[in-house]
């Protein structure tokens, strides 16, 4: 071929190149911006925008162009997931250069992939804004000016923001040093060179980029993956080998606890590696080999629970490996077959009983992986008609919070507990084993006999209908006489039911005439007061709670969700709270009994529930010890009033941080009396069903004989949680530390009781003696034998320093919870 022919071919090829490959000549936004800068989320002010073939939309404010082929280019700005409904995230995302409206149509390039997002918890709308302020704070505000997210670098020497070629969004100072970076705040993705540090999470994204239900975290002892629920359930663990001789020699310690370091994992070229960061070095704990990258890579936790590795092929991201490799057939993943679904070799079925029984049905016969639902929903009101269906050769992906007993007692405990949906019993010998009560069931797994290495019995709870009346034995005479009579009786019964329903629908005030009742509201009044129930404060017992306004005062309106289950609790709360008044009990302002609507109106507590303050991730702005001590005293006074100062003892039955509310001055008040029980003095109460919350239930619930001492046990649990700032049951903790009471027992034996306290700061060090004394008080309240627990009036006196725990418990042994040689010595608690 001649030189002229070669040039002609080259020109023809150049003219045939699609316009989006010519976009390199476009003047794209710089990857760097200086302070102050401001961007508004609309096409008029952000010209570099695109709508892709899949329906997603981006508006880029920073663009980092990377060489074609090796890595994608990265942009930072606003993105709306497909199909775009007007909800935007401020994010960093990969892009193919040429997809913006200033060049070719976006459908010529690969859709963007989000690698970091600031506001998955709260998307923003059109005309939201991002501002890099002159004092160095990067702020995201919604269209109405409300603050959504911030880097909180308000007082740092930040001079600009840089989108690095790695996809890391960086705030830098005048010396070019990093003041803040997105790599330290991962969402669902790790890029090469990025780390996930101990205590932080990768949290999956749903299809619309919102936060999903799976998360991966690094804890002190290893990497753990969980499916989120009221109690998170672990489906993957890889523990660090701290006892390895090489690691031990580098750490210069003899214990198997990484006392002096912080663990983290990093995505490197060709591996996922774990390290222990010490004061002056990092020690590699393990190395998980991954496919060697020929270009850019990322690792993403996805909405099915898989942690997948992706590589850039020049145009898009291609899946390379399943990093966790939990199960080659996916059956060990929590949602592979939906709730109650049984996975076997990748196929999904529902639990089955005897031939002809239809105890479970698929949610969608065409999509069996969506799961199953009980044919008859479980009802706590019909607990006597529930039974456990054996599931042969079935196991579960997660076992935690076990207790040792026999199989019959294990099954009985599940039948008594309304919250228990299934029970698993791992046999240790012929008599005893480990019992696991499951409050929520995800996907189950079928296994071949002899393949799991332990002997397991699995049962799932099902609701049976009451048996129908038998019609046998009727003779012909009875038939001819009985049928007309029966028809008449049915007509009379239908008329009676119709009138009863009509009366119920038209009732004005079922509590009329009861003295001392709070104000009665109509449903329409409360609907207007809450702006059509638009602002949800939380989920209380038996229903959601909404914020409202009555006159100039804020109120909290609790809606009972169903009368069949909630009416008894509704009456209990109105009668109980309406007739008692104490500074440490939430005041009932009013109620609504309007046709089928049952609502309760409480005083509004501006600081919400206690659990939001003692379990918050950012301990720097948590409650001081003085505030926590006062809260403990407030709760004790409220319970002492209920138990000892009312005409009848009132047993709350559900004391937990979520039912302790805080006002604007952090005074504590007990709320949610939906389970409350009136008990005559010097009497106990036989309960027909277990009430309360897992972890806070006293041991005597297994015998069903309940006194006010059950509240005192729950109070002891709450005191431990307040002091330690950790939950009583926490599956995110290392093995052996998930149960706070068991952990306390171990720490007492070795004289390190304050090791249970999370994040020991200067405040903890200043009040060590007081904390130990309060823990001793909690131990006293946690006695297995209810008669050995103190009365709440004694607890109040101890907290007010009228007496100390040693003097008040001379006749009470703590052997039931701690060793008799416990190093807890008497330490006086100063008055507040």
Contact 541, 672 (CB under 8 A): yes
Distance between CA 317 and CA 309 in Å, rounded? 10
| Cβ neighbours for 608, distance < 8 A, ≥ 6 positions apart | 537, 538, 661, 662
Contact 631, 665 (CB under 8 A): no
The residues pairing with 277 across neighbouring beta strands, listed in sequence order, are: 262, 282
Segments of 221-301 assigned E as strands:
222-227, 233-239, 262-268, 271-277, 282-289, 297-301
Distance between CA 382 and CA 397 in Å, rounded? 29
Distance between CA 687 and CA 723 in Å, rounded? 31
Distance between CA 832 and CA 826 in Å, rounded? 18
Query: Helices in 100-233 by DSSP H: which ranges?
Result: none
Report the alpha-carbon angle 654-657-660, nearest 5.
Answer: 80
Q: Is 195 helix (H, G, I), strand (E, B) or coil?
A: strand
Distance between CA 303 and CA 206 in Å, rounded? 6
Q: How many CB atoms lie within 10 A of CB 13?
A: 9
The residues pairing with 267 across neighbouring beta strands, listed in sequence order, are: 272
- Token readout for 566 is 């909630």
What does DSSP say about strands 57-64 and 113-117: parallel, antiparallel, or unpaired? Answer: unpaired
- Count the residues in the chain: 832
Distance between CA 177 and CA 171 in Å, rounded? 8
Q: Is 331 helix (H, G, I), strand (E, B) or coil?
A: coil
Distance between CA 109 and CA 774 in Å, rounded? 63
What does DSSP say about strands 201-205 and 271-277: parallel, antiparallel, or unpaired? Answer: unpaired
Half-sphere exposure of 773 (CA within 13 A, CB side): 23
What is the set of active-site residues? 654
Closest CA to 558 of 544, 574, 578, 569: 544
Q: How many helices (H) and strands (E) does the chain have?
A: 14, 48
Report the alpha-carbon angle 540-546-549, nearest 5.
Answer: 135
Which helix (H) or strand (E) element contains residue 198? none
Residue whose token pair is 């775009």: 84
Distance between CA 368 and CA 280 in Å, rounded? 54
- Token readout for 150 is 């911030």
Distance between CA 726 and CA 612 in Å, rounded? 11
Which helix (H) or strand (E) element contains residue 60? strand 57-64
Q: Is 578 helix (H, G, I), strand (E, B) or coil?
A: helix
């Amino acid at each position: 071929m001649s030189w002229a022919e070669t040039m002609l071919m080259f020109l023809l090829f150049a003219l045939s190149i699609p316009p989006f490959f010519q976009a390199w000549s476009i003047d794209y936004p710089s990857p760097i911006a200086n302070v102050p800068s401001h961007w508004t989320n609309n096409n008029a002010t952000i010209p570099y925008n695109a709508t892709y073939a899949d329906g997603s939309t981006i508006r880029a404010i920073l663009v980092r162009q990377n060489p074609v082929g090796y890595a994608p280019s990265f942009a930072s700005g606003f993105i709306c997931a497909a199909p775009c409904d007007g909800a935007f995230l401020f994010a960093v995302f990969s892009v193919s250069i040429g997809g913006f409206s200033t060049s070719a149509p976006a459908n010529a390039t690969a859709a963007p992939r989000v690698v970091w997002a600031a506001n998955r918890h709260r998307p923003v709308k059109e005309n939201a804004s991002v501002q890099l302020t002159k004092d160095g704070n990067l702020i995201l505000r919604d269209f109405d000016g409300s603050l959504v997210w911030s880097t909180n670098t308000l007082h740092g020497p930040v001079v600009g923001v840089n989108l690095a070629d790695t996809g890391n969004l960086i705030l830098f100072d005048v010396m070019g040093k990093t003041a803040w970076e997105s790599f330290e705040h991962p969402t669902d993705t790790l890029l090469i060179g990025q780390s996930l540090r101990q205590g932080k999470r990768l949290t999956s994204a749903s299809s619309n980029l919102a936060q999903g239900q799976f998360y991966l975290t690094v804890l002190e002892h290893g990497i753990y993956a969980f499916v989120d629920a009221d109690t998170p359930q672990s489906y993957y663990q890889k523990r660090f080998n701290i006892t390895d001789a090489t690691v031990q020699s580098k750490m210069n310690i003899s214990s198997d606890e990484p006392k002096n370091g912080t663990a983290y994992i990093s995505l490197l070229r060709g591996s996922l590696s774990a390290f222990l960061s010490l004061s002056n070095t990092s020690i590699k704990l393990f190395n998980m080999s991954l496919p060697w990258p020929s270009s850019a890579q990322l690792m993403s936790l996805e909405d099915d629970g898989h942690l997948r590795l992706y590589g850039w092929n020049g145009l898009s991201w291609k899946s390379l490996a399943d990093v966790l490799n939990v199960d080659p057939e996916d059956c060990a993943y929590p949602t592979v077959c939906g709730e109650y679904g049984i996975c076997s070799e990748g196929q999904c079925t529902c639990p089955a009983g005897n031939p002809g029984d239809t105890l479970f049905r698929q949610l969608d016969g065409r999509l069996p992986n969506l799961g199953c639902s009980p044919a008859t929903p479980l009802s706590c009101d019909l607990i006597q008609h529930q039974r456990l269906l054996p599931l042969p050769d079935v196991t579960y992906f997660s076992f935690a919070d076990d207790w040792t007993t026999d199989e019959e007692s294990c099954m009985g405990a599940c039948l008594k507990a309304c919250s228990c949906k299934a029970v698993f019993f791992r046999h240790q010998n012929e008599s005893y084993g480990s019992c696991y009560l499951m409050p929520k069931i995800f996907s189950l797994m079928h296994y071949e006999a002899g393949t799991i290495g332990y002997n397991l019995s699995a049962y799932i709870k099902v609701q049976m209908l009451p048996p129908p009346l038998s019609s046998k034995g009727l003779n012909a005479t009875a038939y001819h006489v009985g049928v007309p009579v029966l028809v008449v009786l049915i007509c009379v019964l239908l008329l009676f039911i119709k009138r009863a329903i009509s009366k119920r629908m038209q009732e004005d005030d079922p509590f009329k005439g009861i003295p001392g009742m709070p104000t009665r509201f109509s449903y329409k009044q409360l609907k207007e007061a809450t702006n059509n129930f638009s602002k949800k404060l939380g989920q209380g017992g038996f229903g959601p709670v909404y914020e409202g306004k009555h006159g100039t005062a804020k109120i909290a309106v609790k809606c009972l969700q169903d009368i069949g289950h909630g009416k008894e609790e509704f009456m209990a709360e109105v009668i109980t709270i309406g007739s008692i008044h104490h500074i440490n009990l939430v005041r009932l302002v009013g109620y609504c009994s309007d046709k089928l609507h049952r609502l309760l109106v409480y005083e509004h507590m501006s600081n919400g529930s206690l659990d939001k303050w003692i379990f918050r991730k950012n301990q720097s702005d948590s409650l001081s010890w003085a505030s926590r001590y006062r809260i403990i005293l407030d709760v004790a006074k409220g319970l002492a009033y209920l138990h000892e100062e009312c005409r009848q003892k009132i047993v709350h039955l559900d004391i937990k941080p979520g039912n302790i509310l805080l006002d604007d001055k952090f005074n504590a008040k007990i709320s949610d009396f939906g389970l409350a029980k009136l008990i005559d003095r010097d009497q106990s109460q036989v309960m027909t069903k277990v009430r309360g919350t897992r972890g806070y239930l006293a041991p005597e619930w297994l015998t069903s004989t309940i006194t006010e001492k059950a509240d005192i046990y729950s109070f002891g649990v709450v005191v431990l949680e307040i002091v330690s700032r950790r939950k009583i049951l926490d599956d995110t903790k290392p093995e052996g530390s998930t149960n706070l009471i068991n952990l306390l027992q171990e720490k007492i034996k070795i004289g390190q009781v304050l090791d249970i306290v999370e994040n020991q700061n200067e405040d903890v060090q200043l009040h060590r003696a007081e904390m130990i004394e309060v823990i001793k008080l909690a131990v006293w309240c946690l006695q297995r034998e209810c008669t050995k627990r103190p009365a709440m009036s004694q607890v109040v006196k101890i907290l007010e320093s009228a007496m100390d725990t040693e003097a008040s418990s001379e006749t009470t042994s703590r052997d039931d919870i701690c060793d008799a040689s416990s190093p807890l010595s008497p330490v006086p608690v100063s008055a507040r």
